[in-house]
Structure 1
């Protein structure tokens, strides 16, 4: 009996030894090794990617927000990729279509974001965000079918910026009507100063003129009627007259030579303005951030005024073209959606919004921010006087129609298309695709 027990004991020992050898030979791992490789005890960090297009002090503010997020989430690493403005839409569309989007991305809301929402590529944030933290109007461009898909940080609009030093020297007053503007243009030209700095290679800077003229001539309801298909259309006489006003300015030499080939992103129009070669520029309130980053001392020379009224037109000179940007959204492809939402919350926190306002004079889309920056107060006063905030066409319209809007407007500026032809093309395309929106 004892002999049998000894044999069994030896046999069991041999089997266990053989099993251990085979496990090692097959690459088996101990519990400690397996845990280490899975990242549970190795300190391996989760990763988020974040795409945005901000520059200068705005970029610094976002970087600071990301640093705060990483400090509060030591197990997370955020890869921040700053994209150039003009190629950004294409890059994000390709990434979305290819199934490799960033976890968090910036947008302007509107029709462009809605296309991604319709494709199921954007996370519903309705239950994730507290709407009470935001200015109500700032949420409209990222709300579709009563669901929220983006968190806004800044409200921006487009005034006319002018060089106070030049205006004072030439005894010029800020114009309130288009006829007065033409007088200012002639005086600037007589003194060898380009009236408007414009770099229109990327098309959107020139589109501001069309939007403003259309509003001033046709009134604030014109675009909504055409977009919602409830009244006047994109071939309405007001749009034709808006194109005629643009071509009148072109023929009056109100812009620099070759303006349709100048690049805004590289600062070609800003440099004309900074150097005093141009007296005015129509650009968003984000221009202040550019100035503070590129030529801080120039700030004391500038001020803003509303786009002038057109005599006989239906629109008020207090109406402004503007929008909400950046708006931050989360991709449904994110492997860490809860963390991505937390990053969005930090990017649109009161601390982030306060710092953005203090550094770049931005108008906050976040409640509870104290506006202490003197230029921010000035822009905020102008916005408060506005009766209507007209959203940017290219951020509201579906992508295909938005591109046509920019293409036809650039062609109007280039005198290669008549306003009638441009309006007809817009309306034909609208009839084709807006019934599907």
Structure 2
């Protein structure tokens, strides 16, 4: 019993001492002045005065330059902070609409042209930017892809050339002229093969025919409304324009223009083939030029889309896409801050920094291209007859999948006629 009373008395004494220490400590903090306390209040007030906006996109490889640009924006706009999140492109295409739904994510978001733009538009998640002054900072010829029913819903930031990139130095060393007809293209491919070089590295496992299909069909189907007519039932995949395109893919595959197991080769492996000069071309586009230069700084690169017709029949020299479209979430409560960020990105000096550090051509006016690769290819913007990427003019995802699937089936051994017929059945099931 005495032992218990002693323990209790000790506990009481400990509590009294701790309370006294706490009081002394509080007094010391008070006596030291109000700086710490008011500093905390100031910090809290500052946080309350700062609006954080969410910026989401799919280009993880651009994070470093965006981090720097965001830092500059926040310095010029101390009342706004930017939280950036990036996602793999396939995941972004699948999940962006869901992320935008409640307005808490993606105050500023990006959209692919084509099916994703249509899906987000149908869901009503775009803010109309038609009256914003920063729209004038973009090349007028690029803006149409972000418009719907006369309203500017998104502004495309990048000008991408979706056609094979080739090793110019290799061509010069082998004395190969850039082909201007189907017969010259075949001769070029044979010369490369004779020198144990694969003409085209094709990343079929992850990118597939998404990019190469555009330049393969650009002169087989000169009508730029061809996919609109396909989806309305006026045109079919079993007609010559698509059968011929599938036959060309078959020819490339059966004659060794593509590497072995093209459908099983991923993007990184295909890029390494070009960097190691095992392959002359990469079947993707301009967005991989900077990465190729990182793998092999000695590469001199250009564009070489496949020419599948005679020289007299050539109308288009290549493919372009206005993409990485910047938009403001209609469900956002921070629209003005979001618009301020897009306006900042559209300034020529900021756009020039982004272009040169990422190796991307842009749609912003007065961009200064400093990198060798961009300077060597910028003439494609004004001097070449390119058409907008046909794949992005397909509005129904199921139709797009059927079109691309027919190419993969041909590369897998299916006849062009059978592959086209199977794809056309899917199209007919999705005709509006």
Cα distance in 2, alignment partners of residues 349 and 392 from structure 1: 30
**Between Structure 1 and Structure 2, how many residues are aligned?**
393
What's the TM-score, normalizing by structure 1? Answer: 0.80
Shift of 1:159: 3.7
Deviations, residues 261-320 of structure 1 (Å, cap 9, x unaligned): 2222xx22111100111111232211222234x236133x333334324128844242x2
* Alignment-derived partner of residue 28 in structure 1: none
2:220 match: 217
Give yes or no for contact 1:153–1:364 (8 Å, CA) kept in 2: yes
- Greater shift after overlay, 334-343 or 44-53? 44-53
Quote the Cα distance in structure 1 between the aligned partners of 2:169 and 2:372. Answer: 19
CA RMSD of aligned residues (A): 2.9
| Residue 143 of structure 1: how far off its partner (Å) | 0.2
8 Å CA contact 2:276, 2:296 repeated in 1 = no
Matches within 5 A, 1:278-289: 278-289=279-290
For 1:97 and 1:262, how far apart are their aligned partners in 2? 36
CA deviation after TM superposition for structure 1 residue 325, in Å: 2.0
Question: Relative to 1, partners in 2 of residues 1:86 and 1:346: Cα closer, same or farther, differing over 3 Å?
Answer: same
CA contact (8 A) 1:203 1:406 kept: no
- Structure 1's unaligned 5+ residue stretches are 1-32
Task: Tell me: CA distance 1:270–1:334, structure 2 relative to 1, closer, same or farther (3 Å).
Answer: same
CA shift in 2, pair 1:432/1:220, >3 Å: same
Task: Name the residue aligned to 1:291.
Answer: 292
| Conserved? CA contact 1:196–1:278, under 8 Å | yes
1:67 equivalent among 67, 71, 78: 71
Q: 1:75-86 residue pairs with structure 2 within 5 A?
A: 75-86=79-90
For residues 220 and 290 of structure 1, do their structure 2 counterparts lie closer, same or farther at Cα, with a shift above 3 Å needed?
farther
Structure 1 position 146, deviation (Å): 0.6
Offset at residue 52 of structure 1 (A): 1.8
Q: Partners in 2 of 1:141 and 1:367 — Cα distance?
A: 17
Q: For structure 1, which segment, 188-197 or 382-391, has the greater mean C-alpha deviation from structure 2 after superposition? A: 382-391
8 Å contact from structure 1 (residues 219, 315) kept in 2: no
Please, which runs of 5 or more residues in structure 2 have no aligned partner? 1-36
CA contact (8 A) 1:309 1:317 kept: no
Counterpart selection for 2:142 from 138, 141, 165: 138
* 1:411 paired residue among 406, 409, 412: 409
- Name the counterpart of 2:278: 277
Aligned with residue 120 of structure 1, among 121, 124, 132: 124
Q: Which residue of 2 aligns with 1:261?
A: 264
Residues 338 and 136 (structure 1), Cα distance of their counterparts in 2 relative to 1, 3 Å cut: same
- TM-score, structure 2 normalization: 0.81
In structure 2, do the counterparts of structure 1 residues 260 and 309 end up closer, same or farther at CA, with 3 Å as the change threshold?
closer
- Contact 1:215/1:315, CA 8 A, preserved across alignment: no
Distance 1:368 1:434 in 2: 42
2: distance between equivalents of 1:225 and 1:419? 22
> What is the aligned counterpart of 2:419 among 413, 417, 422?
422
Matched, 1:239 2:242: yes
Aligned to 2:34: none
Q: Is the CA contact 2:103–2:330 (under 8 Å) kept in the aligned structure 1?
A: no
Cα shift at 1:99: 6.7
Task: Provide the rounded CA distance (Å) in 2 between the counterparts of 1:349 and 1:166.
Answer: 38
Q: Provide the secondary structure at the position in 2 that maps to 1:297.
A: coil
Q: 3-state DSSP class of the match of 2:165?
A: strand
Secondary structure, counterpart of 2:256 in structure 1 = coil
**CA displacement 1:379-414 (0-9 Å, x = unmatched):** 222332333422241464232322222223222222
Q: Which runs of 4+ in 1 moved over 6 A?
A: none
Q: Aligned-pair distance for 1:103? A: 1.8
